[in-house]
Amino acid sequence: MSVVKINGIKAYMIDKNTLLDLDKNDALKSFREEFQIPDNTLYFDGNSLGLAPQITQKKMSSVISSEWGQGGIRSWINHDWGISPQRIGNKIAKLIGAGNGEVIAADSTSINIFKAIVAALQVNHERKIILTVEENFPTDIYMMQGLETFAPSKITPKIVPSSSLIESLDESVAALLLTEVNYKTGEISDMREITRQAHQRGILVIWDLSHSVGSIPVDLNGCNVDFAVGCGYKFLNGGPGAPAFIYTAKRHLSLIDPILSGWFGHANPFAFNLQYEPAKNINRFMCGTPPLLGLIALECGVDISLKADIKLLRKKAKKLGAIFIELMRDKFKSKEFELASPLDDEKRGGHVSFRHLHGFALSRALVENGLVCDFRSPDIIRFGITPLYMRYQDLYDAVELIADVTESTNWEEKEETIALYT
Amino acid sequence: MSVVKINGIKAYMIDKNTLLDLDKNDALKSFREEFQIPDNTLYFDGNSLGLAPQITQKKMSSVISSEWGQGGIRSWINHDWGISPQRIGNKIAKLIGAGNGEVIAADSTSINIFKAIVAALQVNHERKIILTVEENFPTDIYMMQGLETFAPSKITPKIVPSSSLIESLDESVAALLLTEVNYKTGEISDMREITRQAHQRGILVIWDLSHSVGSIPVDLNGCNVDFAVGCGYKFLNGGPGAPAFIYTAKRHLSLIDPILSGWFGHANPFAFNLQYEPAKNINRFMCGTPPLLGLIALECGVDISLKADIKLLRKKAKKLGAIFIELMRDKFKSKEFELASPLDDEKRGGHVSFRHLHGFALSRALVENGLVCDFRSPDIIRFGITPLYMRYQDLYDAVELIADVTESTNWEEKEETIALYT
C-alpha cells in the first residue's frame, strides 16, 4: 500500500470519525444545505449532472407564474430576460478569468465548439488545420468532422494521440482544440504552457472548459487564451441540458463573421433588416432566441459557485479526491481497482477514475445500490468530486459500499442480466 | 364602411352582449382556464410569446424537485429525459401532418434553419442557390448569409420580392426557404401549390412553420414537403425561448450528413468513438445535450394544442380575426388604421396587422394601457389571435381601448418621450 500523507493523516488511520471531524470544520459545509440531496444516495456524479440548487425550483416557479404568466412578452424588457445571456456570461467570466463582455451564455457546448472552430479559422485565415487529441471528448472531434464533411476545403481536422501533441504544434495548424480536464481520467492539461507553445507557432487555442468551470480555477486572460467554451450542467449545477457558454478574447471579436448568424446576434435584431450585420460585442455569438427557462436555472447554479469562491472549492476538492484515493487503495490492496486519474492533486480535476475489469457491470451495481457514479468505455468508473455538496464522510460510506458490492456481485450473472435488459 | 357578414352578424350590430354570447357557446372556452391570464391585460401577443399553461409551473416544479433533485443523472433513463426530444417531436408531428419519427424538438429555430439549408444542399448537391423572399423573417435570411460568408462556394443565397417568387423557381435553385405565415401581415402562403411548382423544377422546399404550428393546420406529408422547422414559444405556448423543432421527410434522411454533428446525433453517443457516425433516424438532427427544462415546458404547451384539436382552433381563430377586423373598421371609419393582413379569413393566419402612421408610439401606448400587442417596422401593429385563451369579448374591449388611446394620445409628445427613454 502506498501511504500518502493528507494533512498528516495516513489512509489506514482515516476512520469515519476523522471524516466527521473534517466535515464539522469544513468552511464550505453550509453550501450543502443549498442543494437538494437525493435520499439514500451517495451522489458521485456531479461531474456529469450537478445536483439541483434549492433556489432553482423557487426561482423557476416565480419566473413561470409571475414573469411569464403575468408579464408575457413584456418580461423580455421588464424582467431583463433580454440581457440574461450577457448577465450570466459576465458571472461565468468571473469563474474563468475572463473579462466583462467576453463571455455569453448560449446554445449547447457542441454548437459553441462549432462557432469557436469557425471563428478560429476566420482569424487565422491562412491555415486550415484544426488540431486535437484522440483523448478529447468526442463531441469536440465530431464538430470538426461535420464541418469538414460539408466544406472540406475550409477545414482539415487533425487528431493525434496526446503523447504527440507538442510535436504536432507546427506552423500549418490554425487552431488547437483541447479540453482542459480529461473526461475519462480527470487529468488537467497545462493551459498556460500549451497555450504559450501554440502561440509561439502562430496557433490559436480553443479550450473546452466543460469539466473545469466551477471545479478548478481557470485564468483565460492570464493565459492569453483565444476562445473557450463550457458546459452549464456539470459543476455549475445549471440543470439537465443547461445552456452552455462561449468566450472570445476581445482582440478577435471584430474579425469574426459568425457562421451561425441568427437574429439575436444581429447588431439591431428588431430593425428586421435584410442583411445580417453582427453585433459589435459578444452578442454576435448568439444565434436564435435565448432559452430563457434554461438560462434562469443556469444562473441559480452559477450564483452559488460565485458565492462559494472557486479557490476554496478547489482546495476542498483536492482533499476529497486525495482521501478517496487513499481509502480505495487501503481497502483494495489487490489492485482490483487501478487508479486512472493522476495521483498528484495538482494534476487531477473534479473526478477520480478507476479502471476495473468489470467496470460496466460494477458501475451499474453501484448505482442500483445508491452510489451514483458513471462508466466510460472500456473499463473506467468515474467518481465525481463536488465540494459544494459532498461531505468527507460520504467518501467513507462510498468506499464501504464499493467493497460490499464488489464482494457480493457475481460478475457473470450481472453481465448476463445487463445483456438481457439493455 | 365595408360590412362583411360574420355568421350573419354585421359589424355595427356587434355589441358586447353578442360577443358574450359567442363566448358562452364557444366549444373551446374551457381551455382558457388552462392558462395563466395576466391581470388587467388584454393579451394580443400570443403570436410572439404564448401565455403560460397552468400545468407548466407544476410540471416544472416536479421535474426540478423530484426528477432532477432526487434522481440526478439517473433521470435521463428513469424519467425518459433521454427520449424527450423524440417524444415531443412526435407530438408536434401530429399538429403539422408529419409522421412518427420525422420531427425532433431541438435547438433554436435559427439553428434548425441552418441544419435544413445544409441538408437541402446535400440532397440537391448539384445546385447551390437557396431562394427566399425579402418578406421572409430576417433570421431565415441571415442563416443563409452566415453560411455564405464562411463557405461562398457552397451556397448562393438569392433573395427576391415575393411578387417574383414563382418566376424565380428555375432549375438553378437547390431549395426554396419560405415562412408559411408572414410575420408582418399574417398572410398564409399556399404550401401545396408552391411546393408542387418547386418540385416540378427539381427544387426542394424548406418551410418555416414558426407562425403556423398550433395556429393553422399544416399538412407536410400531404404537400410532400422536404424539410420544415418551427418555433415552440408562439402558438405552442412552450415558454420564452422554448426549444424549436425540425422535420425531414423520411426519403431524405439517409442522404444527410449533419453539419452540426454533435454527440447526441451520433448513432451511438455513449460508445465515445472517434469518428462521427450519424444516427440512422431523426436523432441525427440533434447536436448537443437536449435542453431538458425547456423541453418539459414545451411539452406542456404542445399537449394542450393536441387536446384542443387544431381544426377547432383554426375555426375559432378565423372568426375572432374577422370580428376584430370588422370592429376596427366600424370604429375607425377615417382609415386611420389600414388593414395590412388579408381580409379573406382563409388567407390570414394567427394575427391581424394594421398600419398606422404613428404605429410605434401607438403600440407603446397600448401596451402601457394593458393591451399587449407588438410593432414591426416601419408602421405595423400586430394583434395576435390565440383561440386557446382569447375570448370574443376581448375583441370588443381591445377596440374600445384602441379608440380611447388613439384619441387621448398626443403623438408628438409620445414620440418625444420614447426618444428620450430608449
- Nearest Cα residue to A42 out of A411, A346, A368: A368
CA–CA separation, A414 and A419 (whole Å)? 9
Residue of B nearest to A277 (CA): B142
CB-CB neighbors (< 8 A) of B289 in chain A? 108-110, 233, 240-241
* DSSP H helices in A25-83: 54-62, 75-78
- Nearest Cα residue to A359 out of A378, A339, A387, A338: A378
Map grid coordinates 448562393 to a residue: B156
- Nearest Cα residue to A117 out of A86, A150, A91: A150
The answer to whether A145 contacts B377, with C-beta atoms less than 8 Å apart, is: no
Predicted pLDDT of residue A75:
97
Strand pairing report for B173-179 and B204-208:
parallel
Cell of B325: 377586423
User: Which residues is B208 bridged to in the sheet?
Assistant: B179, B229
CA–CA separation, B99 and A32 (whole Å)? 47
- Bond before B243 cis per omega within 30 degrees: no
The length of chain B in residues reads 422
A295 touches chain B (CB under 8 A): yes
The answer to whether A263 contacts B142, with C-beta atoms less than 8 Å apart, is: yes
- The CA–CA distances, whole Å, from B109 to A67, B104, B217, B231 equal 23, 12, 19, 6
CA–CA separation, A76 and B48 (whole Å)? 11
> What is the separation of C-alpha B278 from the centre of its chain, rounded to a whole number of angstroms?
28
E-assigned strand segments in B95-153:
103-105, 129-133
User: What count of other Cβ atoms lies within 10 Å of the Cβ of residue A307?
Assistant: 10
Q: Is A21 a catalytic residue?
A: no
CA–CA separation, B230 and A263 (whole Å)? 15
Predicted pLDDT of residue B333:
83
CB-based contact A290:B241 (threshold 8 Å): yes
Question: Active site residue: B284, B318, B329, B382, which one?
Answer: B382
Inter-helix orientation angle B310-331/B292-308, to 10°: 80
The length of chain A in residues reads 422
CB-based contact A203:A131 (threshold 8 Å): yes
Assign A365 to helix, strand or coil: helix
Predicted pLDDT of residue B132:
98
CA–CA separation, A107 and A281 (whole Å)? 17
The tens place of each residue's pLDDT in chain B, 422 residues long, gives: 334 555 556 655 789 999 999 999 999 999 999 999 999 999 999 999 999 999 999 999 999 999 999 999 999 999 999 999 999 999 999 999 999 999 999 999 999 999 999 999 999 999 999 999 999 999 999 999 999 999 999 999 999 999 999 999 999 999 999 999 999 999 999 999 999 999 999 999 999 999 999 999 999 999 999 999 999 999 999 999 999 999 999 999 999 999 999 999 999 999 999 999 999 999 999 999 999 999 999 999 999 999 998 999 999 999 999 999 999 999 998 789 999 999 999 999 999 999 999 999 999 999 999 999 999 989 999 999 999 999 999 999 999 999 999 999 888 888 887 776 65
Assign A242 to helix, strand or coil: coil
CA–CA separation, A294 and A275 (whole Å)? 30
Cβ neighbours of residue A349 closer than 8 Å, sequence gap 6 or more: A180, A181, A182, A186, A187, A188, A211, A212, A215, A216
CB-CB neighbors (< 8 A) of A141 in chain B? 274, 276
Cell of B276: 462521427
CA–CA separation, A399 and A19 (whole Å)? 13
CA–CA separation, B359 and B376 (whole Å)? 9
Question: H or E stretch including A376?
Answer: strand A374-376
Predicted pLDDT of residue A383:
98
Strand pairing report for B42-43 and B371-372:
parallel
Assign A113 to helix, strand or coil: helix
Candidates A108, A286, A421, partner chain B, best to mutate (most B CBs within 10 A): A108
Strand pairing report for A351-355 and A338-339:
antiparallel
Q: What is the pLDDT of residues B147-187, one digit of tens each?
A: 999 999 999 999 999 999 999 999 999 999 999 999 999 99
> What is the separation of C-alpha B281 from the centre of its chain, rounded to a whole number of angstroms?
25
The answer to whether A43 contacts B241, with C-beta atoms less than 8 Å apart, is: no
A36 touches chain B (CB under 8 A): yes
Domains of chain A: 11-53+310-421 (3.90.1150.10), 80-307 (3.40.640.10)
Cell of B45: 401577443
Strand pairing report for B103-105 and B156-160:
unpaired
Predicted pLDDT of residue A1:
31
Predicted pLDDT of residue B2:
37
User: Which residues is B130 bridged to in the sheet?
Assistant: B157, B175
Pick out chain A residues at pLDDT < 50.
1-3
Assign A422 to helix, strand or coil: coil
Q: Is B192 a catalytic residue?
A: no
CA–CA separation, B289 and A294 (whole Å)? 12
- Bond before A378 cis per omega within 30 degrees: yes
Provide ipTM, 2 decimals: 0.96
Residue of A nearest to B241 (CA): A291
Map grid coordinates 405556448 to a residue: B237
